[in-house]
Amino acid sequence: MPKIIKDVEKTIRNCAIELFVELSYINVDMRMISKKSGVAVGTLYNYYENKKQLYLCILKEGWENTFNKLDAISELTISSEEKLRNFIRMLYEDIEARNGLGKDLINTSAAELKDDKEINNLKNGLILRVENLFKCINKVETLNKCSKIDTRLAESLLVSMLTMLEFHRNDKEDNINFLVEFISLTVK
């Protein structure tokens, strides 16, 4: 008699997330996910065509949730300083909660993800939201002298967050304060 697993898809995703965080996308295969989740490999393929599809589903779900939070902050009618602080804090905390899952939006080490349309759409959505925040808080329009500055500044903010989470994990408040001050100086 086959064993019954409650919430199979949720179990698969949770186990896959743990493995992707611990071992990275490149080092995980469907057999490992099968073993960890207790779901037969064939059953995994009933839910997900392949590892890449499972990974992208996990990323999309997580980042779309983050995008909704960022959009809500952007729509608040608060001072630009409060908006910047709330935006950076929320983004920092969401990236921190992922434990490195999703770094592929910034730096893709897996060849099969490097030119993936869905990864690029997520990355572009994230960059666009950060750029829009900069434009919202930029009162003097100094960044508009070069069209690529907004994008590079957005990418710099994201890479800085990842670096701080790696090298200064226990200094959350200091990291957030630094990022807020840095961006405040840059965009005003």
Predicted confidence (pLDDT) at residue 97 exceeds the cutoff of 70: yes
Mean pLDDT across 96-107? 77
Instruction: Give the residue, 163 or 141, on which the prediction is more confident.
Output: 163
Task: Give 9-31 pLDDT, tens digit per residue.
Answer: 999 999 999 999 998 888 999 99
Predicted confidence (pLDDT) at residue 96 exceeds the cutoff of 80: yes
Domains of the chain, by residue range, sit at 1-48, 52-187
pTM: 0.83
- Would you identify the CATH topology of the domain 1-48? Arc Repressor Mutant, subunit A (1.10.10)
Predicted confidence (pLDDT) at residue 138 exceeds the cutoff of 70: no
Q: 1-48 and 52-187: same fold?
A: no
Homologous superfamily (CATH) of 52-187 is Tetracycline Repressor, domain 2 (1.10.357.10)
Q: How confident is the model at residue 143 (pLDDT cuts 50, 70, 90)?
A: very low
Kindly report the backbone phi and psi dihedral angles of residue 28, in degrees, each rounded to the nearest multiple of 5, phi listed first. -110, 140
Task: Give 42-69 pLDDT, tens digit per residue.
Answer: 999 999 999 999 999 999 999 999 999 9
Distance CA 47, CA 25 (A): 18
Cα–Cα distances in angstroms (integers) from residue 123 to residues 48, 53, 126, 138, 162, in the given order: 23, 17, 5, 22, 14
